Amino acid sequence: SEAPLVLGIETSCDETGIGIVRGRELLANVIASSMDEHARYGGVVPEVAARAHLEALRPALTEAIATAGIELSDLDAVAVTSGPGLAGALMVGVGAAKALALSLDKPLYAVNHLVGHVGADVLGEDGPLEYPTIALLVSGGHTSLLLVRDLTSDVELLGETIDDAAGEAFDKVARILGLPYPGGPQIDRAAESGNPKAIRFPRGLTLPKDMDKHRYDFSFSGLKTAVARWVEVRRDAGEEIPISDVAASFREAVVDVLTAKAIAACTDFGIPRLLLGGGVIANARLREVAQQRADAAGIELRIPAFSLCTDNGAMIAALASELIMEGAEPSSLSFGADSTLPV
Ligand code: KG4
Ligand code: ZN
């Protein structure tokens, strides 16, 4: 049978994503971000994000259809992120997806946002990913380590952040340093001219100390507090803050712990494959250290194109497309947004 034509809707955080795929072929990936509207608050404001989705959905849908060169009536299915994420933001996408599926009389697939990040890989040019694989997903909203035995049927959460997400930590530290939101790219840039060994910041929940309970979990709030204190003491003493050195040392701490745990998971489970996803993957140092450590451990590292790493609708459509090709039943229309949906 022919590959299914699927439209995916993603509204779990601050990106309104509409993607269209035919099987594993990417036809459109429109992303409208409300990031600028959150800038003056220093982080994503749920109410603002939900409202922005309402406004952005229709134009994004129109643009995606035009880009893909299809009619809505051509679609074989509609897919949507039902969780995890911000409740109000999710609800906008779920409502729109239900309305679309009902009016077109097409099947609807509710999918998990985190599994969607893994699903993005099938749209890449490196050919289909082999399973099992370990996946490290790092963004402003999540920091999760997954063991993916099968994309459509067997995904296990190994660990996640117990406090701040990695991207959130970048944003908060940027704020401490007086850099604008979103802080990730700002810190990344400032770090380029800094010395990563200038300051030894703590690594949260490091290996091998937390061998058992928190082996695959992350913690970044202690690190953020350590940076805040380090800066505060020097500001109080009237000293100039070496922003590049602080940025580089902070970045090194985050990158060290993220890559160490991801590689440890690969080694522990004997899985020579690691997939990265999420907006923090834009971090140059993270990609560099991940590649070095993967090479040293004989692990194949996969990083989808950046437009597929940040939150987007194409990954949601891609995951649903895989489900459809495996004959999975559509979701009943009674599902709702679930902000804490487990994988
Ligand atoms: O996946 P994403 O676009 O969206 C959500 O989390 O919703 O990720 C955005 C996060 C922000 O926290 C941003 O500061 C961070 O990713 N980020 C980075 C970099 N670029 C974006 N963090 C570190 N280094 C970067 N170059
Ligand atoms: Zn995400």
Q: Residue 97 maps to which CATH number?
A: 3.30.420.40
Q: Is 171 in the pocket of ligand 1 (CB under 6 A)?
A: yes
Let me know whether 163 and 288 are in one domain: yes
Q: Alpha-carbon distance 266 to 270, whole Å?
A: 6
Q: Is residue 341 part of a domain?
A: no
Shared-domain flag, residues 30 and 96: yes
- Are 303 and 133 contacting, i.e. CB atoms less than 8 angstroms apart? no
What phi, psi does 323 have (nearest 5°)? Answer: -60, -45
pLDDT at residue 208 in the model: 57
Residues 293 and 315 in one domain: no
- Whether 78 is in a domain gets the answer yes
Confirm whether 343 is domain-assigned. no
SS3 (DSSP) at 293: helix
User: Would you say the CB of residue 139 lies under 6 angstroms from ligand 1?
Assistant: yes
Contact of 173 with 194, CB cutoff 8 Å:
no
Q: Are residues 116 and 238 in the same domain?
A: no
Q: Is the same domain home to 82 and 231?
A: no
In a domain, 335, yes or no: no
Ligand 1: atom nearest CA of 282 is 26
* φ and ψ at residue 43, rounded to 5 degrees: 180, 170
Q: For residues 141-165, b (16+ Cβ closer than 10 Å) or e, as one string?
A: bbbbbbbbeebbeebeebbbbebbb
Q: Do residues 11 and 95 lie in contact, with contact meaning Cβ atoms separated by under 8 Å?
A: no
| CA angle centred on 157, ends 153 and 158, rounded to 5° | 130
The strands making up 273-277's β-sheet, listed across from edge to edge, are 154-160, 143-150, 133-138, 273-277, 300-302
Q: Same domain, yes or no, for 171 and 65? A: no
Q: Which pLDDT tens digits describe the chain residue by residue (343 residues)?
A: 689 999 999 999 999 999 999 999 999 999 999 999 998 888 899 999 999 999 999 999 999 999 999 999 999 999 999 999 999 999 999 999 999 999 999 999 999 999 999 999 999 988 888 999 999 999 999 999 999 999 999 999 999 999 999 999 999 999 999 999 999 999 999 999 999 999 999 998 876 555 677 899 999 999 999 999 999 999 999 999 999 999 999 999 999 999 999 999 999 999 999 999 999 999 999 999 999 999 999 999 999 999 999 999 999 999 999 999 999 999 999 999 999 999 9
Q: Token digits for 224?
A: 């953020």
- Ligand 1 pocket test, pick from 90, 164, 170 with the greatest ligand atom count within 8 Å of Cβ, gives 170
164 & 178 share domain: yes
Q: Is residue 190 part of a domain?
A: yes
* CA dist 266 → 8, 259, 321 (Å): 30, 11, 27
185, 313: one domain = no
Domain count, the chain: 2
Q: What is the pLDDT of residue 40?
A: 87
Give the 3-state secondary structure of residue 25: strand
- Cβ-proximal residues to 262 (8 Å cutoff; 6+ apart), any chain: 134, 136, 145, 274, 276, 290
Please indicate, yes or no, whether residues 24 and 159 belong to a single structural domain of this protein: no
Nearest to 314 by CA among 5, 8, 42: 8
C-beta of 10 in contact with ligand 1 (< 6 A): no
Residue nearest to atom 10 of ligand 1 (CA): 140
- Candidates 5, 13, 76; CA nearest to 337 is 13
> Which residues place a Cβ less than 5 A from the ion ligand 2?
139, 311
Tell me the residue ranges of DSSP E strands in 108-248: 108-112, 133-138, 143-150, 154-160
Report in angstroms the alpha-carbon separations of 306 from 130, 200, 287.
21, 30, 12
The rounded Å distance from CA 285 to ligand 1 centre is 14
Confirm or reject: Cβ of 280 under 6 Å from ligand 1: yes
Assess whether the C-beta atom of 279 lies below 6 angstroms from ligand 1. Answer: yes
Range of the domain at 198: 129-303
- pTM here is 0.95
Is 237 part of any domain?
yes
Q: Would 44 be classed as within a structural domain? A: yes
CA 227 – ligand 1 centroid, Å: 19
In a domain, 142, yes or no: yes
At residue 204, the pLDDT reads: 83
Atom nearest to 183 CA in ligand 1: 14
